[in-house]
A and B are shown apart, each in its own frame.
Chain A
Amino acid sequence: MSTLHTVNKSPFEKNSLADCLGYAKEGSAVLMYEDGVYGAMKGNAVAEKVAAASGVKFYALGPDLKARGISEEKLAEGIEVVDYAGFVNLAVENDKVSAWV
């Protein structure tokens, strides 16, 4: 089964991203949205962990990046930006959604 994992909290506020990465298996997708988009930025303390998650595809929600003033150049490599329609597609394409709140 492929899972869409969602993370909506900053990795510096809560350990939801860390928890999620421990459970995201190869072939799954992780969408960072709301304050979770801070986890998608390059050069921060969690960037290595994100880069090390092999076989996992990372996404960040565009509207939430924009709201927080995070331009796409500030994102870590390999993070794909999606909008809400993209969020919906990810939910459809994967077999289930697992929310790490």
Chain B
Amino acid sequence: MSETIKKFMYLNRRAPYGTIYAWESLEVVLIGAAFDQDVSLAFIGDGVYQLLEGQDTSESGMKNFSTTYKALGDYDVTKLYVEKESLEERGLTLDDLMPLTWEDEDDDWAEKDSIRLVSRDELADVLDDQDIVYSF
């Protein structure tokens, strides 16, 4: 759709459901996937809660959009950076998060992890390398 390829970073720092930012930012990611940019998502602070396994909104009357994260791999959105310190501060580990994967067609469709657990320092380097940052 365009000749320019930029490094797009979607910065997620808020928990889901309490506000709409998590869901509406995901809507941007999905539409953005059609533009063939080099996309990364960062989950920092309460943003890590967006990826918690086992979300069930049946008694809250709200739409459960957590399954949408599972579809990201099919949209070629395969780089989901989760900040280690944010998980630890919240008493969480990788095991508490949804198992998000993508299939690498350049590697015989091998299933690979989309979530990249990184330290704050490592993520700072990633962020520094981006061309454009969307905040929600």
Query: In the complex, A touching B, CB below 8 Å?
Result: yes
Task: For chain B, give the interface size range.
Answer: 10 to 19
The listed residue (A23, A96, A97) touching B124 by CB distance below 8 A is A23
Contact with B along A20-33 (1 / 0, CB 8 A): 00110100000000
Residues of chain B contacted by A96 (CB below 8 angstroms):
130-133
User: How many Å from the CB of A79 to the closest CB on chain B?
Assistant: 22
Q: Are A97 and B128 in contact (CB under 8 A)?
A: no
| Chain A at the B interface: SS class | mixed
Nearest neighbor of B126 in chain A, beta-carbon distance: A23
Question: CA of A98 to CA of B128 in the docked complex: distance in angstroms?
Answer: 10
User: How many Å from the CB of B47 to the closest CB on chain A?
Assistant: 10
In the complex, whether A15 has a CB less than 8 A from a CB of chain B is yes
The listed residue (B123, B124, B135) touching A100 by CB distance below 8 A is B135
Q: Provided the pairs A97-B133, A99-B135 are in contact, do residues A19 and B13 lie with their beta carbons within 8 angstroms?
A: yes
Question: CA of A101 to CA of B21 in the docked complex: distance in angstroms?
Answer: 11
User: How many Å from the CB of B39 to the closest CB on chain A?
Assistant: 15
Nearest neighbor of B135 in chain A, beta-carbon distance: A99
Q: Are B128 and A19 in contact (CB under 8 A)?
A: no
User: How many Å from the CB of A1 to the closest CB on chain B?
Assistant: 6
From 1 to 27 in chain A, residues with beta carbon under 8 angstroms from any chain B beta carbon are 1, 3, 15-16, 19, 22-23, 25
